[in-house]
Amino acid sequence: MTAAAPAPCAPRPPPRPTATPATPATPAIPATPALVVRALVAGYTSGVDILRGASLEVGRGEIVTVLGPNGAGKSTLIKAIAGLVPVRSGEVLLFGQSLLGAAAHRMVGRGLAYVPQTDNVFARLSVRENLELGACARRDRDGIEADLARMYALFPRLHERRRQAAGTLSGGERQMVALARALMARPTMLMLDEPSAGLSPKLVGVVFAKVREVRELGVTLLIVEQNARAALAISDRGYVLAEGREQVSGDAAALLANPEVGALYLGAKRGLM
Domains of the chain: 35-266 (3.40.50.300)
In this prediction the pTM is: 0.85
Residue type, 73: G
Dist CA 74 CA 62 (whole Å):
18
**Nearest 10 degrees: CA dihedral of 155, 159, 161, 167?**
50
Cβ neighbour number for residue 157 with a 10 Å cutoff = 16
**What's the farthest any 2 CA atoms get from each other in the chain?**
126
pLDDT mean across residues, the chain: 87
Q: Which residues contact 152 (CB under 8 A, 6 or more apart)?
A: 158, 159, 162
Tens digit of each residue's pLDDT (9 = 90 or more) over 105-132 = 999 999 999 999 888 999 999 999 999 9
Query: Which residue stretches of 49-183 are H helix?
Result: 74-81, 127-134, 141-154, 156-160, 171-183
Contact criterion met (CB below 8 Å) for 196 and 171? no
Could you tell me which of 131, 132, 107, 119 has the C-alpha nearest to residue 188?
Answer: 107
Tens digit of each residue's pLDDT (9 = 90 or more) over 192-239 = 999 998 888 888 999 999 999 999 999 999 999 988 889 999 999 999
Four-residue CA torsion sign, 261, 251, 186, 91: positive
Could you tell me which of 243, 196, 202, 253 has the C-alpha nearest to residue 223?
Answer: 196
Q: What percent of the chain has pLDDT over 70?
A: 85
Dist CA 66 CA 226 (whole Å):
9
Q: Which residues contact 121 (CB under 8 A, 6 or more apart)?
A: 130, 166, 167, 169, 174, 177, 178, 181
